[in-house]
């Protein structure tokens, strides 16, 4: 009897799941499938009208939605085939690293603003990727063709060009580096009371604030303590330009940005009492500081180049690598002064001079120039301009490029002169002239001192 009872109990236990087995099944049922995670957490990101956290680091060209397809299987295979998912270690997937890049932003305000969105995206993709990588069927999905991959339309180079850090780097080289042209009125943080040479500048700045501070004081504060703060201020002021005035950065017409119109404008007209009328912030623009920059010099060229590039990035106008600007000009302290230029160079004509280095190993001149300058032929038959170097700069304490360290070593160089005979630079100030504009060349042994007092002086007849 006892034996039959044990046998019956064994049969019952065999037919009924154990407590632990039942719990395991309950646990399995509670774990959402890759499809459920996708529909619950990824699809809402795809359908959201709000921008993804990508906007924290990118001004245009990329959005997290670009990597999502309607099907969870298609999305997983697409990310996997682009190397954005790590099948062996899902937590180290590149797509997760890209989402987290905003945490490295030096702008604490931007980090805080986008923190919630960034965390929601990271947790959603992390959970979904982990679920997918645990599914052998998804891991074994056939490889997708290139045209089936979900990704931004623009190539990686265009996406990187739209990064805020790249735009800031360009701003530092092209605009921030030239801020002392606006000293002291628009650069209060550069004033040093302990420097005797700043005494007059401090007095002048104080006088400007006393005379115009009530109405125009905020407009004087253009360059802040850092390039990051300066760029942010310029963007905000441009978005909130007072009615009837031009913005500092004009996205629709870069050449009509106050950032370039002010320093290239003359003093306001005088009133009946002999004083100046208020400066104008609409066309025709006038500048209480007077003329600080000519439209023919490299600084104007660099300002316009940056504004145009920024406008095109924000407007999403770059579609291919060929559309991108060279974006590699670095101002230097060197000045080239060409005296007694050839007679066939008309007065006021724009001249560009490119500097080529000598290659000892190849015993020939480098085909690509290392620097250039630009300027008009003055009435006294000379051309002078600061050198801008191509892709050469040191780094500052934060590891960023420091344009103030860009310089050439003394030595042997070839100078090639180009004449803008068709006035093309008037329509495109960022243009670099080509072989059709070539007017002569000269070999020089240059010292490359700093500033106009130590300018490299060349006799113009060498270009004949």
- At residue 398, the pLDDT reads 36
pLDDT tens-place string over residues 347-357: 999 999 999 99
- Backbone torsions φ then ψ of 88, nearest 5 degrees: -85, -30
- Backbone torsions φ then ψ of 325, nearest 5 degrees: -75, 165
pLDDT tens-place string over residues 12-26: 334 444 433 333 433
Considering the chain, what percentage of its residues have pLDDT values greater than 90? Answer: 72
Q: Considering only CA atoms, which of 120, 26, 61, 106 is closest in space to residue 323?
A: 61
**Preceding omega of 184 cis (within 30 degrees of 0):** yes
- At residue 391, the pLDDT reads 78
Secondary structure class of 444 (helix, strand, coil): strand
- At residue 58, the pLDDT reads 87
**pLDDT, mean of residues 115-135:** 95
| Nearby residues of 20 by Cβ (< 8 Å), 6 or more positions away | none
- Contact at 8 Å (CB) between 296 and 319? no
- At residue 60, the pLDDT reads 83
Cα–Cα distance between 392 and 143 in angstroms, integer? 43
The alpha carbon dihedral of 54, 56, 57, 61 has a sign of positive
- At residue 28, the pLDDT reads 55
| Model confidence at 324: pLDDT above 50 | yes
Q: Considering only CA atoms, which of 371, 334, 378 is closest in space to residue 353?
A: 371
Whole-number average pLDDT of the chain: 87
| Model confidence at 400: pLDDT above 70 | no
pLDDT tens-place string over residues 55-96: 888 888 789 999 999 999 999 999 999 999 999 999 999 999
pLDDT tens-place string over residues 136-166: 999 999 999 999 999 999 999 999 999 999 9
Cα–Cα distance between 75 and 70 in angstroms, integer? 7
pTM (predicted TM-score) = 0.82
**pLDDT, mean of residues 44-62:** 86
Cα–Cα distance between 388 and 407 in angstroms, integer? 9
- At residue 440, the pLDDT reads 96
Q: Cα–Cα–Cα angle for 222, 226, 227, nearest 5°?
A: 75
Per-residue pLDDT band at 52 (split at 50, 70, 90): confident
| Model confidence at 220: pLDDT above 90 | no
- At residue 23, the pLDDT reads 39
Per-residue pLDDT band at 221 (split at 50, 70, 90): confident
Cα–Cα distance between 75 and 43 in angstroms, integer? 11
């Amino acid at each position: 009897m006892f034996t039959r009872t044990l046998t019956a109990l064994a049969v019952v236990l065999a037919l009924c799941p154990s407590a632990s087995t039942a719990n395991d099944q309950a646990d399995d049922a509670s774990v959402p499938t890759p499809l459920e995670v996708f529909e619950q957490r990824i699809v809402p990101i795809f359908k959201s009208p709000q921008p993804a956290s990508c906007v924290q680091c990118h001004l245009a060209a990329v959005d997290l939605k670009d990597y999502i397809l309607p099907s969870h299987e298609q999305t997983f295979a697409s990310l996997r085939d682009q190397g954005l998912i790590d099948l062996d270690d899902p937590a180290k997937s590149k797509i997760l690293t890209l989402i987290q890049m905003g945490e490295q932003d030096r702008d604490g305000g931007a980090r805080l603003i986008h923190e919630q969105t960034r965390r929601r995206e990271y947790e959603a993709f992390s959970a979904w990727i982990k679920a997918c990588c645990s599914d052998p069927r998804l891991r074994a999905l056939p490889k997708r063709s290139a045209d089936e991959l979900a990704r931004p339309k623009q190539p990686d180079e265009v996406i990187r060009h739209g990064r805020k850090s790249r735009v800031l780097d360009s701003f530092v080289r092209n605009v921030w580096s030239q801020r002392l042209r606006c000293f002291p009125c628009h650069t209060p943080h550069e004033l040093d009371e302990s420097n005797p040479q700043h005494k007059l500048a401090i007095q002048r700045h104080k006088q400007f604030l006393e005379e115009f501070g009530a109405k125009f004081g905020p407009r004087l504060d253009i360059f802040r303590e850092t390039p990051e703060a300066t760029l942010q201020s310029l963007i905000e002021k441009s978005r909130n330009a007072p009615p009837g005035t031009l913005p500092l950065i004009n996205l629709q017409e870069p050449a009509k940005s106050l950032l370039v119109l002010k320093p290239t404008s003359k003093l306001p007209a005088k009133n009946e009492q002999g004083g100046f009328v208020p400066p104008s912030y609409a066309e025709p623009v006038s500048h209480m500081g007077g003329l600080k920059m000519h439209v023919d010099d490299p600084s104007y060229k660099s300002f316009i180049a940056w504004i145009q590039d920024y406008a095109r990035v924000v407007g999403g106008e770059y579609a291919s690598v060929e559309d991108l600007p060279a974006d590699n000009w670095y101002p230097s302290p060197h000045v080239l002064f060409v005296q007694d230029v050839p007679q066939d160079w008309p007065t006021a004509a724009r001249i560009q001079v490119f500097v080529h280095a000598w290659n000892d190993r190849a015993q020939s001149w480098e085909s690509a120039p290392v620097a250039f300058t630009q300027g008009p032929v003055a009435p006294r038959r000379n051309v002078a301009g600061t050198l801008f170097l191509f892709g050469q700069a040191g780094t500052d304490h934060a590891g960023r490029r420091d344009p103030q360290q860009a310089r050439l070593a003394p030595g042997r160089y070839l100078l090639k002169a180009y004449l803008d005979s068709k006035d093309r630079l008037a329509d495109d100030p960022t243009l670099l002239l080509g072989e059709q504009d070539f007017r002569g060349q000269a070999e020089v042994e240059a010292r490359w001192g700093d500033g106009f007092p130590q300018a490299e002086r060349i006799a113009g007849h060498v270009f004949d």
